[in-house]
Structure 1
Amino acid sequence: MVRVVVASDKFKGSLTSAEVAAAVRVGVRRVHPDATVVAVPVADGGDGTLAAAVAAGYALVPVVASGPTGLPVRSGYARLGDTAVVELADVCGLVRLPGVLAPMTASSFGVGELIGAAVDAGCSRVIVGIGGSASTDGGRGLVHALTGSLSLDADVLRARLDGVHLVVACDVDNPLTGPRGAAAVYGPQKGASPSQVADLDARLAEWADRVAALTGRDLRETPGAGAAGGVGFAALALLGAELRPGIELVLELVRFRSLIVGADLVITGEGALDEQTLHGKAVAGVAAAASGVPVVAVCGVNKLPPERLAAVGVRAAYALTDLEPDVARCIAEPIPLLEKLAERIASEHLTMAGTREGSA
């Protein structure tokens, strides 16, 4: 029996992880009608992390929390046993600001509310995906939500998180401040002008000074402190968090290694294969965890030569633009194209599996 595992991230702005898997399943089964195609939605710690946890069997716990500008939004966390999964992007990320960005006022308060809700409900391990942040507040909002006030009280924080293991999905190594810091590198994509970037960096430096005076440790230069507009800094310096690569955490959540036992092929993917793909994104992470199972990738656009993909364990890549050069059409009508790519993948990479099946 042919067994294929589809562990793809979303095609941003076009398809969810689940929709990618569904289209791939259709294409594979046109070539191998009896194939077992297992869908494993994955994410790299940004938007889609919550959905991946729910698809893996976690229960969604709805929570109304503060969006990036303070307006209430319907969000929640995923729970299995005493473990909770929180996605910053879903509650106070850029996806919550589809029109006008708020570089100077957006806050991480909402993610603190979700962490607090999970802890208050008895969760002793909280995994937080922090990709896709809309704010550059140094995690100040997150801390204020957990303390219940605008004060910086380490005793209150320790009491609130007593016995809780906080794990943060972080895929960048930027410090909090300076030319490689949260404001300078990520502020512009959150809508900040050059003068606003300078102002935000100064605010982060002042915040780091306050935290260092309170804790006796200055962690502003720690790799990852600049993640999510400085949420990484607050998590490290004040919450005692462990920082780990996002895709590694998600693959553990969805029990990826157990699902690929006996698989003939793993199909991974994301919207664009580019230099970022090679540094902590879903495709490279899936390939690294595939334990010898052949891996191919599907995508909207591929900007990487075969040798760069091979270096991270991807045997071949199949892009929608291979079939339709109009990118706008690929985004608007991706499913038929993806089904055709999956047919091609099944014909080119599952021939031996099909032969084994037929001769059994």
Structure 2
Amino acid sequence: MKFLIAPDSFKESMSARQACVAIDKAIKAELPDAETILLPMADGGEGTLPVLVSALDGNVEAIEVSGPLAYAKETETSEQPMVNAQIGILSDDTAVIEMAEAAGLHLVPTEKRNPELTTTFGVGQMILHALDLGIRHFLIALGGSATNDGGLGMLTALGAKAQDKSGTALAPTGGNLKSVVRLDVSALDPRLADCQFMLACDVDNPLTGATGASAIFGPQKGATPEQVTALDQGLENWAEILNETYGRQIKDIPGSGAAGGLSAAFLAAFDTSLKPGIEQVLDIVEFDQKCADVDWVITGEGSLDGQSLAGKTPVGVARRAKQFEIPVVAFAGRLGDGYEAVYEEGIDLALSITPEGMPLEQALAEAENNICNSTRVLIQLLFSSETTQVE
């Protein structure tokens, strides 16, 4: 029996690699002679960098950049808070940049989450560092953002200036997008003209509107209903400014709302392609080739719900596996509203690893143990004549 183990990370509890190892351990405990292939996955969100660096024998550069709160009001008169970020350098001289390394939600304490104040400035600094290394090809992993600044912070770090009606330069935060009347790109780093950016995106939301960046993702970043409305109006204005500056109307492009609209700035300003992150990762790690002679595929991530169809790892993995008629099991920390739709996309069985009634904090702390136990039970049910009893 041969298993391909290809989960994403389980947010706030275990990495994709940790999930792989736990599942593998459980399979071997029940089926000692089973063959396994461990293939940690990512979909363009957090965790994409280590997956690609490992798959392509790359290396990691560690740098210090401005964090998402660099322009928060309470820090405007003090030193800008810095964060440690990693950039992946692949063997083909492509830089892998996870925007969450510099502007991720995990970098903002819950009580300080406010997408009117956060910035992607540090993402631009990561790009500058790669430019200094001679890199001209970039894969930008969008996901896990704390921001709603439409990429203004990133462009500012690269030399652009957003100005209000009086000509004053604005701090590059989501709350200031509504006040931008001109984007001065005369000092934009000239090396960017020679660059190509490939965006790995795990959502297909447009920039604005009812399914846009502010409405769908603003609340989880700390936005109140009133702020969601203001932020969406700001992105509407920002889309027009980008169009006036670059001659590209991007607000309705699927995926332009990714990472608080960071995707929109790339699409407007640079030589950029946008593709579902899971498809890019599946190709890079040679998923199709690894399916040869596989009997089962096991995947998963922290949550399975109706949104899982929009570019998330388990569904992407299942769609590919079904091309080879391989049955797919997906584990999740939780099964949310509308998760049943995954059964139409190639997943044969979706299972929650969290025991009923277990508090969230405990479930996060015991995720590896939970996925191990769930895998053992699954293997026993599937192969009862070949397995041993759980101790």
TM-score by length of 2: 0.81
Amino acid corresponding to residue 312 of structure 1 in structure 2:
E
Q: In the alignment, is the contact (CA less than 8 A) between 1:62 and 1:76 conserved in 2?
A: yes
Q: Report the Cα distance in structure 2 between the residues aligned to 1:303 and 1:220, rounded to whole angstroms.
A: 29
Who is 1:338 aligned against?
A: 371
Who is 1:201 aligned against?
A: 232
Q: Report the Cα distance in structure 2 between the residues aligned to 1:350 and 1:240, rounded to whole angstroms.
A: 51
TM-fit CA distance, 1:240: 2.7
Amino acid corresponding to residue 191 of structure 1 in structure 2:
G
Q: In the alignment, is the contact (CA less than 8 A) between 1:41 and 1:55 conserved in 2?
A: no
TM-fit CA distance, 1:119: 2.9
Q: Structure 1 residues 65, 258: closer, same or farther in 2, change over 3 A? A: farther
TM-fit CA distance, 1:148: 6.5
What secondary structure, in the 3-state scheme, does the structure 2 residue paired with 1:161 have? helix
The Cα offsets for residues 4-30 of structure 1, whole Å up to 9 and x where unpaired, read as 221111222222211111111111001
Who is 2:358 aligned against?
A: 326
Who is 2:100 aligned against?
A: 89
1:238 and 2:237 aligned: no
Amino acid corresponding to residue 337 of structure 1 in structure 2:
N
* Range moving further from structure 2, 297-306 or 68-77: 297-306
Q: Report the Cα distance in structure 2 between the residues aligned to 1:179 and 1:249, rounded to whole angstroms.
A: 28
What secondary structure, in the 3-state scheme, does the structure 1 residue paired with 2:194 have? coil
Who is 1:146 aligned against?
A: 158
Who is 1:358 aligned against?
A: none
Q: Report the Cα distance in structure 1 between the residues aligned to 2:338 and 2:117, rounded to whole angstroms.
A: 41
Q: Structure 1 residues 299, 203: closer, same or farther in 2, change over 3 A? A: closer
1:130 and 2:149 aligned: no
Q: Report the Cα distance in structure 2 between the residues aligned to 1:260 and 1:335, rounded to whole angstroms.
A: 25
1:36 and 2:35 aligned: yes
TM-fit CA distance, 1:54: 3.0
Q: Structure 1 residues 257, 115: closer, same or farther in 2, change over 3 A? A: farther
Who is 2:303 aligned against?
A: 272
Q: In the alignment, is the contact (CA less than 8 A) between 1:175 and 1:182 conserved in 2?
A: yes
Amino acid corresponding to residue 256 of structure 2 in structure 1:
A
Q: Report the Cα distance in structure 2 between the residues aligned to 1:167 and 1:300, rounded to whole angstroms.
A: 30
For residue 328 of structure 2, the aligned residue among 280, 295, 298 is: 295
Q: Structure 1 residues 318, 193: closer, same or farther in 2, change over 3 A? A: closer
Who is 1:107 aligned against?
A: 119
Q: Report the Cα distance in structure 1 between the residues aligned to 2:234 and 2:368, rounded to whole angstroms.
A: 45
Amino acid corresponding to residue 83 of structure 1 in structure 2:
T
For residue 80 of structure 1, the aligned residue among 67, 80, 90 is: 90
TM-fit CA distance, 1:153: 4.9
* Range moving further from structure 2, 29-38 or 72-81: 29-38
Q: Report the Cα distance in structure 1 between the residues aligned to 2:383 and 2:137, rounded to whole angstroms.
A: 40
Amino acid corresponding to residue 369 of structure 2 in structure 1:
P
Unaligned runs of 5+ in 2: 71-80, 164-182
TM-fit CA distance, 1:47: 1.3
Q: Report the Cα distance in structure 2 between the residues aligned to 1:172 and 1:123, rounded to whole angstroms.
A: 27
Who is 2:173 aligned against?
A: none
Q: Structure 1 residues 262, 58: closer, same or farther in 2, change over 3 A? A: farther
Amino acid corresponding to residue 143 of structure 1 in structure 2:
L
Aligned counterparts, 1:154-193, within 5 A: 154=185, 157=188, 159-193=190-224
Q: Structure 1 residues 210, 299: closer, same or farther in 2, change over 3 A? A: closer
Q: Report the Cα distance in structure 2 between the residues aligned to 1:201 and 1:343, rounded to whole angstroms.
A: 47
Aligned counterparts, 1:216-235, within 5 A: 216-235=247-266
Who is 1:258 aligned against?
A: 289
TM-fit CA distance, 1:157: 4.6
Q: In the alignment, is the contact (CA less than 8 A) between 1:269 and 1:299 conserved in 2?
A: yes
Aligned counterparts, 1:348-359, within 5 A: 348-349=381-382
Q: In the alignment, is the contact (CA less than 8 A) between 1:106 and 1:137 conserved in 2?
A: yes
Aligned counterparts, 1:3-14, within 5 A: 3-14=2-13
TM-fit CA distance, 1:66: 1.4
TM-fit CA distance, 1:150: 5.6
Taking every aligned residue pair, what percent have the same amino acid on both sides?
38
What secondary structure, in the 3-state scheme, does the structure 2 residue paired with 1:184 have? helix
* Range moving further from structure 2, 248-257 or 24-33: 248-257
Who is 1:23 aligned against?
A: 22
Amino acid corresponding to residue 295 of structure 1 in structure 2:
V
Q: Structure 1 residues 307, 62: closer, same or farther in 2, change over 3 A? A: closer
